[in-house]
């Protein structure tokens, strides 16, 4: 009987330890779920003070045993100037092994509303943000991929009314103390704090234009985009011709740019070129190519 009792005791101890570990794990998961809900409510409350408006359907909690997750159907966010974003669903997640980071995914059908009532519709294959679990810190890592981006008819862009696909991944410098302000103030604070975006990779397929590369971006004193990068460009001859036909660039500039890109491509279909964005002008190999419309930020 002695060996049987010893075996039974070991079995009961193992069972008790397993039950205790499961209970502790479940309590930890429940604590992270509460923290996730509190983080979301805190972010929404602090941005609401600045005039932003958020809304979603009924949240669904899940993710056990590896993560605390909150799925928000039909999310939307509207800025004080009337611009905004709406999506099919958004998933907030805290991995149990990375409790200090908030992961945000927003796949599916979405739209961006501009203050002039123009809307951009698209479907996101992957839209991922990696944020500190702190309510007043700007986003860090991002990884975005979208397809079939339908542009407003009023934009009249030569490459066509829709973008086949766009993707980008990189890091935005994190600046604290942003969530108490409207978007105009946030942009100014981000610039004044040395804000920058390390765009490790991007890719754009739009009509005849096929571009991929990397860049370092920021804002100038007028809060307009500026930066430097390198891009591999396919379909450049047709794309430049379309810009010239639409009157977006002068004919002599189109000829000069086409010749330079053809020379840099070495006779291949793809040209790898450095580019620069300064003062609203996109230049390729120091050849001014295209004027970029000025970004008008909301006052709030």
Does residue 64 belong to any structural domain of this protein? yes
**In a domain? residue 201:** no
- 224 and 180, same structural domain? no
> Are 58 and 166 contained in the same domain?
yes
Chain segment 28-81, per-residue pLDDT in tens:
899 889 888 888 888 788 778 777 888 999 999 999 888 999 999 999 998 887
How many whole angstroms from its chain centre is CA 70?
A: 19
Are residues 115 and 30 located together in one domain of the fold? yes
Asked whether residue 218 falls in the same domain as residue 76, the answer is no
Residue 202 domain flag? no
Q: pLDDT at residue 177 above 60?
A: no
133 and 9 housed in the same domain: yes
Please tell me whether residues 127 and 22 are part of one structural domain: yes
Q: Is residue 176 domain-shared with residue 212, that is, in the same domain?
A: no
Residues 6+ apart with CB under 8 A from 24: none
Range(s) of the domain holding residue 93:
2-196
Does 1 score more than 80 pLDDT? no
Residue range 220-254, pLDDT digits in tens: 999 999 999 999 999 888 988 998 998 888 898 88
The count of other CB atoms within 10 Å of the CB of residue 290 is 16
Q: Do the domain assignments include residue 111? A: yes
Domain boundary among 196, 226, 250: 196
Residue 75 lies inside a defined structural domain of this protein: yes
- Confidence at residue 141, expressed as pLDDT on a 0 to 100 scale: 82
Same domain, residue pair 122 and 220: no
- Whether residues 66 and 123 fall in one domain: yes
Domain count, the chain: 2
Integer-rounded Cα Rg, in Å, for the chain is 25
Pair (74, 163) in one structural domain: yes
- The whole-number pLDDT of residue 229 equals 97
CA distances for 227 relative to 61, 68, 184, 278, angstroms = 41, 38, 20, 7
Complete DSSP assignment for 21-38: HHHHHHHHHHHHHHHHHH
Residue where one domain finishes, among candidates 167, 196, 225: 196
Residue 203, in any domain of the structure: no
Q: What percent of the chain has pLDDT over 90?
A: 35
The residue from 133, 163, 196 where one domain ends is: 196
Cis peptide before 65 (omega within 30 of 0): yes
Q: Is residue 155 part of a domain?
A: yes
Kindly give, in sequence order, each residue whose CB lies less than 8 Å from that of residue 155, ignoring residues fewer than 6 positions away. Answer: 118
Domain assignment present for residue 145? The answer is yes
Q: Is residue 174 very low, low, confident or very high in pLDDT (cuts 50, 70, 90)?
A: low
- Each as own residue / partner, the long-range contacts of residues 123-129 (CB below 8 Å, 24 or more positions apart, any chain) are 123/147, 123/148, 124/87, 126/167, 128/103, 128/104, 129/103, 129/104
Whether residue 21 sits in one domain with residue 170? yes
Give the pLDDT mean for 152-179: 82
Residues 91 and 130 placed together within one structural domain of the fold: yes
Report d(CA 156, CA 164) in Å as an integer.
16
């Amino acid at each position: 009987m002695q060996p049987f009792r010893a075996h039974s005791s070991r079995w009961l101890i193992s069972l008790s330890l397993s039950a205790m570990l499961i209970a502790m794990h479940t309590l930890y998961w429940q604590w992270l779920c509460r923290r996730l809900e509190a983080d979301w409510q805190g972010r929404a409350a602090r941005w609401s003070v600045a005039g932003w408006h958020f809304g979603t359907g009924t949240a669904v909690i899940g993710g056990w045993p590896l993560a605390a997750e909150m799925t928000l159907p039909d999310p939307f966010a509207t800025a004080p100037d009337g611009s905004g974003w709406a999506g099919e669903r958004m998933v907030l997640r805290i991995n149990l092994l990375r409790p200090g980071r908030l992961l945000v995914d927003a796949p599916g059908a979405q739209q961006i509303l501009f203050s002039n009532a123009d809307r951009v519709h698209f479907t996101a294959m992957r839209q991922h943000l990696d944020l500190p679990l702190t309510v007043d810190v700007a986003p860090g890592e991002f990884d975005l991929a979208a397809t079939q981006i339908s542009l407003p008819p009023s934009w009249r862009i030569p490459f066509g009314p829709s973008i086949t696909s766009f993707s980008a991944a990189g890091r935005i410098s994190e600046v604290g103390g942003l969530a108490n302000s409207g978007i105009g103030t946030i942009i100014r604070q981000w610039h004044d704090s040395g804000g920058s975006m390390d765009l490790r990779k991007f890719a754009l397929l739009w009509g005849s234009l096929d571009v991929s590369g990397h860049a370092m971006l920021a804002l100038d004193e007028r809060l307009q985009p500026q930066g430097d990068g390198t891009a591999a460009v396919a379909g450049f001859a047709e794309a430049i011709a379309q810009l010239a036909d639409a009157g977006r660039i002068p004919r002599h500039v189109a000829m000069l740019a086409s010749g330079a890109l053809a020379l840099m491509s070495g006779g291949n279909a793809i040209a790898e070129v450095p580019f620069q964005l300064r003062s609203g002008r996109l230049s390729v190999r120091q050849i001014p190519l295209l004027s970029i419309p000025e970004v008008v930020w909301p006052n709030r």
